[in-house]
């Protein structure tokens, strides 16, 4: 019989190992990643599912107190959450897992469950069993966004053949102007560009403070968070911060540029060089992030990402009462 229990500090090793060997686990499911949130920011309630003794799933989560009651969310402080499953988990097992999760929440008087599972390209063996079983149990979509994904396996050795002429013109302009892209460990050099750009364009701050970003890299390791910057005359013009989500996908968590120097097209060169790096590293996909917000399309951003061979993949948030 499948049983769910709240994870303890003693489970960290089991939890980490399970995610790393899983079908759909990501950096956002790891306890080391979740540790960057200060105590008290979320009411954590991480779960481990066991069937016959060994773990069959881990579900990072937290409680969210809303007007209609307490909701179980996995995970409010991460891009992706939901149950982590193994490569051999079939539909029947996923249905049993969800039934156990809903029963667990119901027993505690909670109102519902909300989760944003990883998009299908993050799976080692892709399937829609989790989403199917959720919809079958009366769940609906809280949000459906499109994230721009490059299928690196479809790009040949000549990357230029996979990109539109507009993208390539920008790359040539940047190179002719003397812009260079380098990997840079110091977040302090790029962060002001990121902060200024987000404030000017959207009136928001980066998801992570500079200190949080540095702490996060310390927690998960420098091989999992990498930064690339475009430099001209010693000044950082643009950059990308990459998250190693799992062996299949690298995610451009932050992409930004200095708008005053946009004419030099530094961001085009960053795209080109980081795509080349990701392919050389053996990733199957590169996720450039969403270009929709509440189903509204930013067509300029969409066209730009499409020009580098990206196409939109659903990033769904599902919810349902228990």
Domains annotated for the chain, with CATH where assigned, are 2-138 (3.40.630.30), 148-316 (3.40.630.30)
- The C-alpha atoms of residue 301 and residue 310 are separated, in whole angstroms, by 11
Residue 289 has pLDDT above 90, yes or no: yes
Output the pLDDT for position 53: 77
Element holding 315 (H helix, E strand): strand 311-321
Output the pLDDT for position 82: 97
Strands 249-257 and 285-290, bridge-based pairing: parallel
Phi, psi of 268 (to 5 degrees): -60, -45
Cα–Cα distances (Å) from 169 to 94, 191, 201, 213, in that order, read 48, 27, 24, 33
Output the pLDDT for position 162: 85
| Residues with Cβ within 8 Å of residue 20, at least 6 apart in sequence | none
Cis omega (within 30 of 0) for bond into 164: no
Cα–Cα distances (Å) from 6 to 9, 44, 104, in that order, read 10, 10, 10
Let me know: does 151 contact 284? Beta carbons within 8 Å. Answer: yes
| Average pLDDT over every residue of 243-248 | 98
Cα Rg, the chain, nearest whole Å: 20
DSSP-assigned letters across all residues of 50-86 = EESSSEEEEE--EEEEETTEEEEEE-TTSS--S-B--
Q: In the chain, what is the straight-line distance between the N-terminal and C-terminal CA atoms, in Å?
A: 20
| pLDDT tens per residue across span 301-321 | 999 999 999 999 999 999 999
Output the pLDDT for position 212: 93
Chain centre distance of CA 109 = 31
DSSP-assigned letters across all residues of 107-149 = HTT--EEEE-PPPGGG-SS---HHHHHHHHTT-EEEEEEEEEE
Of 39 and 137, more confident:
137
Output the pLDDT for position 260: 86
Output the pLDDT for position 199: 82
Residue position matching structure tokens 């990357």: 159
pTM above 0.85, yes or no: yes
| pLDDT tens per residue across span 73-104 | 989 989 999 999 999 999 999 999 999 999 99
| Residues with Cβ within 8 Å of residue 120, at least 6 apart in sequence | 126, 127, 128, 313, 314
Summary mean pLDDT of the chain: 95
Question: Taking phi first (over 0 means left), then psi (-120 to 50 degrees means alpha), and beta for anything else, what does residue 309 get?
Answer: left
């Amino acid at each position: 019989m499948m049983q769910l229990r709240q994870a303890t500090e003693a489970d960290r090793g089991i939890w980490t190992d399970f995610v790393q060997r899983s079908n759909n686990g990501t950096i956002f499911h790891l306890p080391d990643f979740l540790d960057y949130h200060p105590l008290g920011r979320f009411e954590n309630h991480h779960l481990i599912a066991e069937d016959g003794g060994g773990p069959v799933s881990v579900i990072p989560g937290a409680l969210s107190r809303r007007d209609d009651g307490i909701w179980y969310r996995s995970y409010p402080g991460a891009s992706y959450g939901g149950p982590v499953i193994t490569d051999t988990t079939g539909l029947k097992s996923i249905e049993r897992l969800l039934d156990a999760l809903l029963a667990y929440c119901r027993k505690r008087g909670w109102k519902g469950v909300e989760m944003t599972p990883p998009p299908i390209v993050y799976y080692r063996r892709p399937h829609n069993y989790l989403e199917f079983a959720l919809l079958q149990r009366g769940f609906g979509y809280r949000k459906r966004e499109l994230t721009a994904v490059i299928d690196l396996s479809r790009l040949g050795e000549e990357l230029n053949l996979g990109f539109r002429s507009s993208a390539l013109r920008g790359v040539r302009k940047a190179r002719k102007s003397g812009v260079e892209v380098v990997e840079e460990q110091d977040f302090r050099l790029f962060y002001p560009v990121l902060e200024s750009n987000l404030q000017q364009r959207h009136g928001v701050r980066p998801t992570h403070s500079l200190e949080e970003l540095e702490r996060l890299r310390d927690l998960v390791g420098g091989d999992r968070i990498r930064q690339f910057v475009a430099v001209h005359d010693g000044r950082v013009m643009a950059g990308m911060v990459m998250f190693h989500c799992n062996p299949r996908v690298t995610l451009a968590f932050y992409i930004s540029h200095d708008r005053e120097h946009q004419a030099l097209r530094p961001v085009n060169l960053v795209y080109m060089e980081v795509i080349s790096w990701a392919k050389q590293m053996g990733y199957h996909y590169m996720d450039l992030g969403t270009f929709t917000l509440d189903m509204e399309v930013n067509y300029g951003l969409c066209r730009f990402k499409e020009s580098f061979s990206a196409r939109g993949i659903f990033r769904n948030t599902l919810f349902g009462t228990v």
